[in-house]
Amino acid sequence: MKIENEQVLFVCEGNVGRSQMAEGFWKHWFGEDSAKSAGINDYREKYNFHPREDIIQAMFEKGIDISEQKIKVLVQEMLRDITTIIVLCDPSILPDFIVSSGLNILYKGVPDPYESSMDGVRQVRDEIELLLSEIAGREVPT
């Protein structure tokens, strides 16, 4: 499946790592208005409303600055103008409004980089980049 000119919502458990990286890649490729990300659980205060520093650093290594992205909690209103939802966590924890939304939902489980070393964060980042490049029909630069 190839998705490019669609409004994409990336979902993971906390919007602290995986979905933030996915949003960063997608916006880098397709523009600022092409993607949103959100987490099922509210970790905004725990992480001072921003992605973790190791996540920001890993993306910066790819030439993508996500330091201004904010942690967002998944709410039904986010589905407005969205055409595709890409779920990067265990789908069993999704709220019913996602599952019953009628939107195109892709389930693409990616390991949670929580408590990973920097090398582990980089591995998750690279897995997300490869996954999204396949979905978007883009080549991953070497």
Question: Could you read off the pLDDT of 20-55 as tens digits, one per residue?
Answer: 999 999 999 998 888 999 999 999 998 889 899 999
Is the residue at 95 inside a domain?
A: yes
**Cα separations in angstroms, 135 against 3, 13, 14, 18, 115:** 6, 21, 23, 16, 28
State the pTM of this model.
0.92
**How many distinct structural domains can be found in the chain?**
1
Residue 39, in any domain of the structure: yes
| 69 assigned to some structural domain | yes
Residue 2 covered by a domain: no
With respect to residue 141, please indicate whether it lies within any of the assigned structural domains.
no
Q: What is the pLDDT of residues 42-99, one digit of tens each?
A: 999 988 898 999 999 999 999 999 999 999 999 999 999 899 999 999 999 999 999 9
**Domain-embedded: residue 42:** yes
